[in-house]
Amino acid sequence: MQTVWRHLFVPAEARREAYGDHALPIGHGQTISQPYIVALMTEALRPAPGLSVLEVGTGCGYQAAVLAACGLRVVTLERIAELAETARHNLAEAGYLEAVDVRTADGSEGTGSAEMFDRIIVTAAAEAVPLALMEQLEEGGCLVAPIGPPHLQQIYRFTHGGNRIEREALEAARFVPLIRDAD
C-alpha cells in the first residue's frame, strides 16, 4: 500500500485528508474505503502475483490499484459510468491502468461471461453474496465481502472448497450498499 498514492484517487478538495485512516466521499454517494479496511480486505484475499481477481465496486480505483500493486490481474466492475471513467483516469495517473481492466457493469451479476477468478473482492455491502459471483470463483479460491444490513456489516472471507464453501468472519465494518441495476 505504500507504493499506491491514495491522494491520486480522491477529489481535489479531499486531498488534504487523503492519508487519514477514514473513508472519504468520491461523489455519486460513494466513498473510498479507509486504508485500514483496504489493507484488511487485501490481506484476506491472500494475494499472490499472477492470480486473477474480480473486484466489484471500482469506485475511484484505489482498491484496484492496490491489488495490481500486489501483482494480481484485476478486472473491476463499476455500475456508475462516471465513476468508472474517473477510476480509469486515476489508475492511468497512478500508473496502474495497464494492469486493471475497468468495466462498467452491474457487479452483482458478475462479468456476465464464463470468466473464472482465483479471488473476488466486493467493496459494497450486500445482504448475501450474489450467486453470480460465487459461480465465477475458482475452486480453491476465496471471496471477501461485507455482508449484512445497511447500518453495519461483517466482512467475511468465503473459501471455495469444492463441494462446500467455508465462511470466516473477519471484522465489523460499514460500507455503502451494493446496488443492482434492477434496484
Show me where the domains of the chain are located.
26-173
In this predicted model, what pLDDT tens digit does every residue of 119-171 receive, in sequence order? 999 999 999 999 999 999 999 999 999 999 988 999 999 999 888 999 999 99
Q: φ, ψ for residue 95 (rounded to 5)? A: 90, 20
CATH 3.40.50.150 fits 26-173, yes or no: yes
> Residue 183's pLDDT band (boundaries 50, 70, 90)?
low
For the whole prediction, is pTM greater than 0.85? yes
The DSSP annotation for 52-115 comes to EEEEE--TTSHHHHHHHHTT-EEEEEESSHHHHHHHHHHHHHHT-GGGEEEEES-GGGTTSSS-
> Residue 60's pLDDT band (boundaries 50, 70, 90)?
very high
- Mean pLDDT of all residues in 3-28: 94
Judge whether residue 99 has pLDDT over 70. yes
Which residues are the active-site residues? Answer: 33
In this predicted model, what pLDDT tens digit does every residue of 22-39 receive, in sequence order? 999 999 989 999 999 999
The pLDDT assigned to 26 comes to 94
